[in-house]
Amino acid sequence: MIRMVGLDLDGTLLRQDKSVSVYSREIIRRAAEKGTVIVPVTGRPLAGVPSEVKSLPGVRYCITSNGAAVYDLQEGKVLKEVLMGPERALSVLAASEGIALIREVFTGGWGYHVPEDYAKLRSRFAGTPVMSYIDGSRKKTDSLEDFVRGCAGGLENISIMCGCFEDRERIREKLSRIKGINVILPWKTDLEITDGRAEKGDALLFLAERLGIRREETMAAGDSDNDLSLLKKAGIALAMGNASAHIREAADFVTEDNEHDGAARAVERFILEER
């Protein structure tokens, strides 16, 4: 019996326009009525989780920043944080200096970037749902390095966007010399970096244990590199139809793509139709 479902957002639960379909909302409602805990598990900071996701039936908990933070939305508190210290974060930023096109850091549920990088984001994403997400979840700072130095508690995540694949690989090679970090490749020109102990899969199992749910009673769906730990740790691993080949190979089952409600169809199959 599946008692908890971890759902990635972008490319999984959310359609390309970043909305949740009527069908998906109905399936999630029915699963919640059956007692299933529905957990959004995302690389976004908390401020970037859409309100329509937070208000879905069964959604009380949320895992953000690629597993760096676990929230109880009802109580409005952090249940767990796995943060990267300022010194290590500065080393990550130094590795990308002069190469990266855009850099952002996540902490306290928000993303931060310098005004120049915000202008580049507007140039790239203006008029798209991605820009709406950015505008609702980011704040500006004059210097990322100075901001990081002032974050005594540490950072959830660092996002680095490059102009080409070759630049990403140059940064990736430099990052390989830094110990104690996870380097995630969400897109062919981008990297996301967390503390080495922060993973979506570990965060899901932490929450499951807290709620008295066994690993075998968990299910997760994802589509990207940052979902690999989630799929490997969950009792049942579902890859979206739009996932790349190595993600599909890591899953127990492959469902439809995100434009055709693949995540909800899997919930329907494994939970609502369960005998």
Element (H, E) at 137: helix 129-137
Q: Are residues 185 and 230 in the same domain?
A: no
Q: Are residues 173 and 211 in the same domain?
A: no
Half-sphere exposure of 184 (CA within 13 A, CB side): 25
Q: Are residues 109 and 191 in the same domain?
A: yes
Q: Which of 160, 195, 230 is the last residue of a domain?
A: 195
Per-residue pLDDT tens digits for 66-82 = 999 999 999 999 999 99
Q: Which of 195, 227, 249 is the last residue of a domain?
A: 195
Backbone CA torsion sign across 70, 75, 76, 78 = negative
Q: Are residues 90 and 168 in the same domain?
A: yes
Domain hosting 264: range is 4-81+198-272
Instruction: Give the single-character DSSP code of 155.
Output: B
Domain count along the chain: 2
Per-residue pLDDT tens digits for 22-64 = 999 999 999 999 999 999 999 999 999 999 999 999 999 999 9
Going by C-alpha positions, the residue among 268, 269, 263 that lies closest to residue 13 is 263
Per-residue pLDDT tens digits for 231-257 = 999 999 999 999 989 999 999 999 999
How much is the pTM?
0.95
